[in-house]
């Protein structure tokens, strides 16, 4: 939250558009076999041979999806890549390339854009994807990042949202609600900072959840794990808008119902303690808080033995006939209909 | 330029994010064989079999790339698709899919977004590309459109920027400078309108150039034409930033020089007359005015007989050894070095 007033500031206009793109992308290496030609022509050229190609795209907008008063620029670049890779993994596919477009106002110096690109480069390196194209342009106000992620899979490995059947088990990776509670902590500290700018926040008690918000990871490891376990999800989606909204997507597109058990929802102890501190119901946070980028999928009952011992995977319910509806079975064993109360960017500004 | 104050205004927030995306994309049909799965899952799924895949991406930002005081929203949607398809054709490839992301502030009602999407849909239909994904989100201020275009080609058909050889002929499609002069006319009329809002512009004398600016087309036809003529360009690029800048790209990436003949540059009579009216040099406009979205390419001398009779194609020069440099040979037969003075979005705000 401290802004260094004495940092280097090179105006973007000093490089020109082509110079800027060259400068920012010169460190990007091409590693994937499927990348024939990366940045530097009218279009990139890719070769997927017999694999199917998967494509997903997302926009991150300053003031809507992120707040630069607590989101470091490098983290932002990292997160912009991660949220898009998550969509590729949610198809049970391997992410291979991304294109990155950035619109930025002249209030940002070159050094700020370099930070964004350092985060992009780090994510690309850790997730083994090539940056094969993009655009850098000015905006009249804030910062905006548009990413398109590309991946590949054998046709019979792809998991869509519409393949769940009644009696399939509903499985979630990792734990939920952390990113949302991290945001609550950051928002609170921002208010404190506004009142007293000399008051430095102590975030030690919130390390995990703040990192879930500022530096989320995508579950590339789960795609590999499922392949090793020889489990193919019957349906799959990533959790970007909250568990409840994603469960309803699977139910609607698969034409099934669902019983989701409140007591099975995986929560990190730091999420629980922070929910108590903020007097927020932790189940509500898991159901409606977004941005965890965990995977939610269904598997056949017969595959249960293959996954049951795995600490990354939690069975949280099962699918039912459509006419039974999509329900939360509470700790008190009452059944209440699930509602999508995920985050709505259009209602938030 | 007339704004109807009594138009329908449905607030975007009334639909919610998923409702909005459903509403805007429900008319998009999937027609390409290579589109296995379009909008509606975490990612689209494509199948290109033996073809190479080409990918390009571009951002259009309000106040930087377009001005809504004279750019109708439907034209804007159309243009956003066209400028991206142009990059695919510049690879000598067939455009097959696009993803579209739109960031929009709440000052725009649903009806405005519908106009943008109507333009996108029209372009997709006319150019036979499928809209297979995207994102719609709010922005804190203006309108921004990010498009990723995907195409395919047989490996031996692809034309890169780096294949030109000395003595290859330099060829341009259509005519140049129209989009830039159309913009000058629109900017002038905007100033007139600001002074007297009742004064309706008479654009009859500028129909062609205004359309070049507001509703550009991409040269899909040229890719087909070249195939039919059995001419494979040794290098190719599209003209988005002005002829001079694009010629220099080909020279630099192909490691060659070039002689470009001023008297060969194709200009429409309306461009010439408007340049006279504005007291601007028409050669400068063709060299430095952008957004014509014509194709610039090089061919072997031996292919000249195949193209010489074609009204769509003009030979404007030839490539030389690198040490001769990239030059404009003026009407007065003097040789002056070409300079890139293309439009720089980063210096313009």
Contacts of A43 in chain B (CB under 8 A): 54-56, 87-88, 90-91, 93, 149, 151
Q: Shortest CB distance from B36 goes to which of A52, A56, A90?
A: A52
Asked if residue B2 belongs to a domain, the reply is: no
ipTM score of complex? 0.89
Q: Shortest CB distance from B158 goes to which of A45, A64, A238?
A: A45
User: Tell me, what CATH number does A130's domain have?
Assistant: 3.30.1330.10
The tokens for B341 are 């003075």
Q: What residues form DSSP beta bridges with B191?
A: none
Do A52 and A192 share a domain, yes or no? no
Do B177 and B134 share a domain, yes or no? no
Residue whose structure tokens are 């980028």: A293
- What is the spatial distance between Cα A40 and Cα A172, in angstroms, rounded to a whole number? 40
Do B246 and B335 share a domain, yes or no? yes
Do B74 and B214 share a domain, yes or no? no
Asked if residue B241 belongs to a domain, the reply is: yes
pLDDT at A10: 84
Closest Cα in chain B, distance from residue A152 (Å): 9
Mutating which of B10, B43, B64 best tests the A interface, going by the most A Cβ atoms within 10 A?
A: B43
Pairing relationship of beta strands A94-104 and A130-138 according to DSSP bridges:
parallel
Residue whose structure tokens are 């992308």: A25
Asked if residue B289 belongs to a domain, the reply is: yes
Cβ distance A196 to A274 under 8 Å? no
pLDDT at B147: 96
Contacts of A40 in chain B (CB under 8 A): 161, 253
Q: Which of A268-272, B139-143, B327-331 has the lowest mean pLDDT?
A: B139-143
What does DSSP assign to residue B66?
A: B
Cβ distance B237 to A42 under 8 Å? yes
pLDDT at B20: 80
Contacts of A68 in chain B (CB under 8 A): none
Q: Shortest CB distance from B41 goes to which of A135, A160, A345?
A: A160
Domain end: B107, B134, B157, which one? Answer: B157
pLDDT of B302 > 50? The answer is yes
Asked if residue B284 belongs to a domain, the reply is: yes
pLDDT at A204: 87
Q: Shortest CB distance from A45 goes to which of B15, B52, B348?
A: B52
- What is the spatial distance between Cα A1 and Cα A69, in angstroms, rounded to a whole number? 6
Do A145 and A177 share a domain, yes or no? no
Do B20 and B146 share a domain, yes or no? yes
Is B41 within 8 Å of A103 when comparing Cβ atoms? no
Residue A167: which of A333, A298, A330 has the closest Cα? A298
Domain end: A137, A157, A177, which one? Answer: A157
Asked if residue B293 belongs to a domain, the reply is: yes
pLDDT of B306 > 70? The answer is yes
Do A236 and A300 share a domain, yes or no? yes
Domain end: B157, B188, B209, which one? Answer: B157
Asked if residue B1 belongs to a domain, the reply is: no
Do B283 and B221 share a domain, yes or no? yes
B1, burial (CB in 10 Å: exposed 0-12, middle 13-18, buried 19+): middle
CA B267 to chain CA centroid, nearest Å: 18
pLDDT at B5: 52
User: Tell me, what CATH number does B326's domain have?
Assistant: 3.90.650.10
pTM of this prediction? 0.92
Give chain B's mean pLDDT: 91
Closest Cα in chain B, distance from residue A323 (Å): 23
Q: How many of the other CB atoms lie within 10 Å of CB of B305? A: 9
pLDDT at A6: 56
Is B43 within 8 Å of A103 when comparing Cβ atoms? no
- What is the spatial distance between Cα A22 and Cα A114, in angstroms, rounded to a whole number? 12
Do B67 and B129 share a domain, yes or no? yes
Across B315-338, average pLDDT: 96
Do A218 and A145 share a domain, yes or no? no
Model confidence pLDDT, tens digit, residues B163-191: 999 999 999 999 999 999 999 999 999 88
Closest Cα in chain B, distance from residue A46 (Å): 5
Model confidence pLDDT, tens digit, residues B8-40: 788 877 777 777 878 888 878 889 999 999 988
pLDDT of B346 > 60? The answer is no
pLDDT at A343: 47
What does DSSP assign to residue B234?
A: S
Instruction: Count CB pairs under 8 A between chains A and B.
Output: 231
Asked if residue B162 belongs to a domain, the reply is: no
Do B71 and B19 share a domain, yes or no? yes
pLDDT of B84 > 50? The answer is yes
Q: Which of B7-21, B98-112, B153-167 has the lowest mean pLDDT?
A: B7-21
Do A215 and A123 share a domain, yes or no? no
Q: Shortest CB distance from A99 goes to which of B12, B57, B135?
A: B57
The tokens for A52 are 């199917």
pLDDT at A135: 87
Closest Cα in chain B, distance from residue A331 (Å): 30
Pairing relationship of beta strands A326-329 and B94-104 according to DSSP bridges:
unpaired
Q: Shortest CB distance from A64 goes to which of B138, B238, B346?
A: B138
Across B189-218, average pLDDT: 89
Q: Domain containing B25: what range?
A: 12-157
Contacts of B105 in chain A (CB under 8 A): 349
Contacts of B236 in chain A (CB under 8 A): 42
Is B148 within 8 Å of A88 when comparing Cβ atoms? no
Residue A261: which of A170, A179, A161 has the closest Cα? A170
Contacts of A17 in chain B (CB under 8 A): 344-346
Contacts of B17 in chain A (CB under 8 A): 344-346
Cα distances (Å, whole numbers) of residue B214 to A89, A311, B79, B202: 39, 57, 7, 16
pLDDT of B268 > 90? The answer is yes
Mean pLDDT (10-residue bins), chain A, 349 residues: 59 76 83 92 94 95 89 95 97 97 88 93 96 88 92 96 98 97 93 84 90 96 97 97 95 98 97 96 94 97 96 97 97 92 46
- What is the spatial distance between Cα B201 and Cα B160, in angstroms, rounded to a whole number? 43
- List of residues 6+ apart from A208 with CB closer than 8 A: A178, A268, A270
Contacts of B99 in chain A (CB under 8 A): 55-57, 148
Q: What's the total number of domains in chain B?
A: 2
Is A42 within 8 Å of B91 when comparing Cβ atoms? yes
Torsion of CA A305, A310, A311, A317, to 10 degrees: -40
Is B48 within 8 Å of A53 when comparing Cβ atoms? yes
pLDDT at A314: 98
Residue whose structure tokens are 């009806």: B111
- What is the spatial distance between Cα B326 and Cα B69, in angstroms, rounded to a whole number? 39
The angle that helices A16-25 and A110-126 make with each other, rounded to 10 degrees, is 40
Asked if residue B55 belongs to a domain, the reply is: yes
């Amino acid at each position: 939250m401290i802004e260094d007033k004495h940092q280097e500031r090179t105006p973007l206009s000093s490089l020109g558009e082509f110079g800027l793109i060259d400068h920012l992308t010169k460190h990007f290496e091409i590693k994937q076999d499927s990348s024939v030609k990366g940045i530097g022509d009218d279009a990139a050229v890719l070769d997927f041979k017999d694999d199917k190609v998967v494509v997903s795209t997302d926009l991150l907008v300053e003031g809507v999806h992120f707040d630069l008063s607590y989101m470091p620029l490098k983290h932002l670049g990292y997160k912009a890549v991660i949220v898009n890779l998550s969509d590729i993994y949610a198809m049970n596919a391997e992410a291979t390339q991304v294109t990155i477009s950035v619109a930025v106002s002249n209030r940002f110096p070159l050094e700020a854009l370099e930070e964004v690109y350092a985060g992009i480069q780090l994510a690309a390196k850790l997730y083994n994807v090539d940056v094969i194209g993009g655009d850098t342009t000015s905006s009249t106000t804030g910062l905006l990042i548009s990413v398109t992620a590309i991946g590949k899979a054998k046709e019979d490995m792809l998991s869509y949202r519409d393949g769940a059947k009644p009696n399939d088990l509903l499985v979630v990776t990792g734990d939920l609600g952390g990113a949302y509670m991290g945001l609550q902590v950051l928002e609170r500290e921002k208010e404190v900072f506004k009142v007293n700018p000399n008051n430095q926040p102590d975030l030690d008690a919130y390390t995990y959840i703040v990192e879930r918000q500022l530096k989320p990871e995508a579950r590339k490891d789960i795609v590999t794990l499922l392949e090793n376990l020889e489990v193919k999800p019957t349906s799959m989606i990533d959790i970007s808008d909250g568990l409840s909204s994603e469960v309803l997507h699977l139910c609607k597109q698969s034409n099934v119902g669902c019983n989701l058990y409140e007591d099975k929802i995986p929560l990190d102890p730091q999420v629980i303690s922070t929910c108590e501190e903020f007097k927020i119901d932790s189940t509500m946070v898991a159901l409606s808080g977004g941005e965890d980028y965990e995977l939610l999928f269904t598997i056949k009952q017969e595959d249960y033995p293959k996954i049951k011992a795995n600490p990354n995977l939690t069975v949280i319910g099962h699918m039912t006939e459509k006419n039974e509806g999509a329900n939360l079975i509470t700790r008190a064993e009452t059944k209440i209909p699930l509602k999508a109360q995920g985050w709505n960017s259009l209602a938030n500004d």
